[in-house]
Structure 1
Amino acid sequence: MTVLEDLRQLIHPYYVVNILMSLSYLVSKYVPGICEFVFPTSECGELSMWESEVLFFMLVIVMFRTRKSGSRNMLAYISTAAMYAKVCNVILWFSTDPVYGILYILVIIVHFLVIGEPVYKGPEKVIYFQGIALDEELRRDKNCLWFITFFTAWSPACSALAPIFAKLSSEYTLDNLKFGKIDIGRYPDAGKHYHINNSAFSLQLPTISVFKDCKEVERRPCLDAKQKFQKFYFTEDNIRASFDLNNVYMECKKRLEEKHGKKEEHIKSE
């Protein structure tokens, strides 16, 4: 996705409101008229030591999370920053007045339910599984190779991967090569079953796993020699190269053609 496309998406009400909510406390502190209405006049135009420490802590967390993020997408960075900024705003508004804090949380809930993050609407051939129902599918069709994304709806990195994974599914899906997704935020048992941490500080969101003959044969991100998760950038080119998708597709297609050829020979012999 280009920078121009990212900027176009930023015009969407979801991102506009998200940015405004992230800056709400600072705007209220420094904009004349608004500040005098919300805070005592003596507190306008400057942050207290405690407020500065909260915001500094937020910046450290955002920098850490974006550095560890598996995406180089600008929207993913903005969404990650906004998520932690809103957490800090909740703390700051509650410290100012519990009523402000409650109102701010209500605005977040309304924003999430009414507007909602824009979703990918392009072509895709992705099967969405409910929890560990994937196990049943793997056992049912052992000759199929599965690419499975484990994700959560609230993770910016997972949202950034969604259109990429959908595009790849539309390009590479075959009868014996399929793509699926599991929301481990909604189905935490699936996360535990496949050993994927779904917490806010998890370095495993998102995770792409490859299953062959009912067994997981590969995943990204994966552990290094020191048992630490290696950083993986979920760009389209990285996914293609890391999983060798082109060769995998050709091998699956070849096996499919051989299978169909044998069936035709069998029919002719009869």
Structure 2
Amino acid sequence: MAFKSDLKQLIKPYYWVNILLSISYVISKRTSVVCNYLFPDSDCELDSRETEILFFLIIVVMLRTRKTGSVTMVNYLSSSFVYTKVANLILWLYADVRYGLPYGAIVILTALLLPEPSYSGPENIIYFRGPQTLDEELKKKNTTWFVCLYAAWHPACVNFAPIFAELSSSYSLENLKFGKLDIGRYPDGATKFRIQDGPTSRQLPTVLLFKDGQEVMRKPMPDSTGKLQKFLFSKDNMKAAFDIDGIYQECKTNMVTKENKKKTEKAD
């Protein structure tokens, strides 16, 4: 089912256009008709420098996608597009500046006209307009909150969005709620919760667990030495790390107890 979902996702223009941009140089160099037209003096083989760039690209993509916790084919592609397009830009510039500059212009234009598709499935999430609105909600007692701090432009946050949405749809209760705060749009939220919001940040996304207004847990979190612990944001890891099933049962029991207490008070 996940594989079929990935294939369906790849039909969207964003993905196939970016795939073409990511393999454009290798295809052009290895297709004789295109190569003879663009590089008439070339033997249509990758030279040692081009091979080194491609090997370096593979290593970077593998390392970066592992750090972002990508677990599906679409997630791997989304996480790697930036690096593959930068590598292709270097290859085109290395081959001929007249090809590299138009390629760079096409990449920029594509980014403006074809942003990465956002998740549009079922969810039960409250989107906070700044940390002040979040604080107002946290002041309400007897409520447990899962809050995701994210940036809309960050690939790892985009990959995590459907997972967090699915969890919110499955586990939301009157006293168990899910919220999101875009710290890219509201940077004071990053300051308040001590989150680095730069493009190389390893703290995006960050999920915080609040009980009765107090933060009791977050992922990823630093260890005793202050070093940030790696966390892969998959559905199973989220459920295990936060014991979401246990919290759900606890909140559900509290709801039933509260309802029974109200009924008893009315009866008296």
Shorter-normalised TM range:
0.7 to 0.9
| Structure-2 residue corresponding to 1:143 | 142
2:14 counterpart of 1:14: yes
Work out the CA distance in 1 between the residues paired with 2:41 and 2:154: 39
1:74-223 paired onto structure 2 within 5 Å: 74-98=73-97, 100-223=99-222
Q: State yes or no: 1:54 paired with 2:53.
A: yes
Please give the per-residue CA displacement for 1:53-96, whole angstroms capped at 9, x wherever unaligned: 43333222212112322232221112122221112223333445
Give the superposition deviation at 1:126: 0.8
SS of the residue aligned with 1:217? strand
Alpha-carbon distance, 1:173 to partner? 0.9
Instruction: State how far apart, in whole Å, the 1-side matches of 2:136 and 2:97 are.
Output: 49
**1:263 partnered with 2:252:** no
CA distance in 2, matches of 1:124, 1:143: 22
Structure 1: runs of 5 or more not aligned: none
In 1, Cα distance between the equivalents of 2:257 and 2:162? 32
Tell me which residue corresponds to 1:232.
Answer: 231
Which amino acid is 2:236 matched to? D
Tell me what 1:5 maps to. 5
State the AA in 1 paired with 2:107: I
**Corresponding residue for residue 33 of structure 2:** 33
Partner SS for 2:233: coil
Could you report, residue by residue, the CA deviation over 1:224-268 in whole angstroms, capped at 9, with x for unpaired residues?
Answer: 344333332222222112211111112112222333333344444
Contact kept, 8 Å, 2:128 with 2:134, in 1: the verdict is no
Per the TM alignment, residue 216 of structure 1 is displaced from its structure 2 partner at its CA by 1.8
Q: State the TM-score, normalizing by the size of structure 2.
A: 0.86
CA contact (8 A) 2:146 2:179 kept: yes
1:180 Cα deviation from its structure 2 partner: 1.0
Provide the C-alpha distance between the structure 2 equivalents of 1:122 and 1:33, rounded to a whole number of angstroms: 44
SS in 2 for 1:33: helix
Q: Judge which range, 73-82 or 149-158, deviates more.
A: 149-158
Unaligned runs of 5+ in 2: none
For structure 1, which segment, 87-96 or 190-199, has the greater mean C-alpha deviation from structure 2 after superposition? 87-96
Amino acid at match of 1:16: W
Rounded Cα–Cα distance in structure 2 between residues aligned with 1:98 and 1:134: 50
**Aligned match of 2:24:** 24
- Cα gap change, 1:122 to 1:102, in 2 (>3 Å): same
Flag the 1:175–1:91 CA change in 2: closer, same or farther, 3 A: same
User: Contact 2:183–2:190 at 8 Å: present in 1 too?
Assistant: yes
Q: Secondary structure at the match of 2:121?
A: coil
Cα pair 2:139 2:212 within 8 Å, conserved: no
Contact 1:73-1:160 at 8 Å conserved across structures: no
Report the 3-state secondary structure (helix = DSSP H, G, I; strand = E; otherwise coil) of the residue aligned with 1:178: strand
| Cα distance in 2 between the residues matched to 1:131 and 1:119 | 21
Distance across 2 between alignment mates of 1:255 and 1:18:
49
Q: TM-score w.r.t. structure 1 length?
A: 0.85
Percent identity, please: 47
